[in-house]
Amino acid sequence: MNFHDAPSADGVWHHCHLLPDADPDHAIRDGAMVVEHGRIAWLGALTDLPDSYRHLDRHNAGGAWITAGLVDCHTHLVYGGQRADEFAMRLAGAGYEAIARAGGGIVSTVRATREADEAMLFAQAAVRLEALLAEGVTAIEIKSGYGLSLEAERKQLRVARQLGEAYGVTVHTTFLGAHALPPEYAGRADDYIDLVCHTMLPALAEEKLVDAVDAFCEGIGFSPDQTARVFEAAARHGLPVKLHAEQLSNLGGAALAARHKALSADHLEHLDEAGVMAMAEAGTVAVLLPGAYYFLRDTHLPPLALLRRHGVPIAISTDHNPGTSPTTSLLLMMNMACTLFRMTVPEVLAGVTTHAARALGAADRHGRLAVGRVADFALWRVASPAELAYWFGRNPCAGVVRQGKVFR
């Protein structure tokens, strides 16, 4: 359904149970919610519905639970091609070098992204986005990082903006030019970082294509010093930062991110207590990505006990990308966060709503049902919100309201 043709959500939503945030103690059974002019005007028990709203159109939710729309706060959704053949090669015993010689790895995605035009990138990403939207996602982050040239990074970010406009979903764009070293800069990482900081980022920021800036701080990515240069460039343009950190080793990336007041540090399997404490002090969100952990068959768990002890907010995301997390199900990530990382149901519910919104710098707009906010919410045909993390391979989403419009 075209976003602009979708019916309005204005009116009284009733015959429902409300979960305004992730706290089960805040649930409102037999509730009602009023939407006016695309925004939430009131919510509470149906018996308390003010007389001034009783004349409005009614939307019967059929006994569904209603939560805030889900937030997928870390994705690489726009890219060319796929890497299923590479996956098959790995399973058959091929190593990294053999796959690279066969044209695989990130270089293959960079090549496919550079060769695709915007229409092709949009068509491929739309299929992935539609799967996420069908599971109640109403806000999503989309990174660049598979172009690694100004022209190709611009294409990715332009397509991300176009997806938001076409589907009526809130898209937060992140410039990830410092994702990997492009082939033409082999052996010249510092020169490439110069290009990112002094050419690519200024141009893309000027074109209003960038909401945040990210980097991959890792032995196979970029050093802490190179990452700091990217963060300093972001600051010159007034842009917040986030970081791929401590996925494969501990280079102190999370602490570096915290020093730059990063919105989030993501992956974090090798995070230590010093990094956790720095994140806690800075208010930096920990974004955990169980899909990549699973797909790479990792065994080094992120430090949940330390994150809990120091009160670091924890978000969960798909990390959708062609190489290490080709999933289009945020609900599955909730289940994996519970089963693989031993997170609780309230933790994962917060992880895809309130904390995920905070990881995008959008806690005032997404992640909770609250008066005055744009009507972004999902209806679930479940007996308990715990079912959102319980089922896998099943989608209990009965409907979604995005930006005040109804989608079934």
What is the pLDDT tens value at each position of the chain, 408 positions in all? 577 789 999 999 999 999 999 999 999 999 999 999 999 999 999 999 999 999 999 999 999 999 999 999 999 999 999 999 989 988 999 876 677 677 778 889 999 999 999 999 999 999 999 999 999 999 999 999 999 999 999 999 999 999 999 999 999 999 999 999 999 999 999 999 999 999 999 999 999 999 999 999 999 999 999 999 999 999 999 999 999 999 999 999 999 999 999 999 999 999 999 999 999 999 999 999 999 999 999 999 999 999 999 999 999 999 999 999 999 999 999 999 999 999 999 999 999 999 999 999 999 999 999 999 999 999 999 999 999 999 999 999 999 999 999 998
Over residues 79-138, the pLDDT tens digits come to 999 999 989 988 999 876 677 677 778 889 999 999 999 999 999 999 999 999 999 999
Is there a contact between 216 and 179 (Cβ–Cβ < 8 Å)? yes
- Angle 216-222-225 (CA atoms, 0-180°, nearest 5)? 115
- Residue numbering of the annotated binding site for Zn(2+): 74, 76, 244, 319
Q: Which domains does the chain have, with CATH numbers?
A: 3-68+369-407 (2.30.40.10), 70-360 (3.20.20.140)
- Residue numbering of the annotated binding site for N-formimidoyl-L-glutamate: 146, 321, 323
Amino acid letter, residue 88: A
**Residue bearing tokens 């963060």:** 231
Do the bridges between strand 137-143 and strand 170-178 make them parallel or antiparallel, or are there none, so unpaired?
parallel
* Joined tokens for residue 32: 């009602």
Tell me, yes or no, if the pTM score tops 0.85.
yes
- Residue numbering of the annotated binding site: 74, 76, 83, 146, 179, 244, 247, 319, 321, 323-324
- Residue numbering of the annotated binding site for 4-imidazolone-5-propanoate: 83, 146, 179, 247, 324
Number of Cβ within 10 Å of residue 122's Cβ equals 19
Q: Where are the alpha helices (DSSP H) in 13-60?
A: none
* Separation CA 153–CA 130 (nearest Å): 22
Over residues 287-317, the pLDDT tens digits come to 999 999 999 999 999 999 999 999 999 999 9
State the distance between the two ends of the chain, measured CA to CA, in whole angstroms: 9
Is there a contact between 376 and 360 (Cβ–Cβ < 8 Å)? no
Return all residues near 321 (Cβ < 8 A) that are at least 6 apart: 75, 76, 79, 292
- Residue numbering of the annotated binding site for Fe(3+): 74, 76, 244, 319
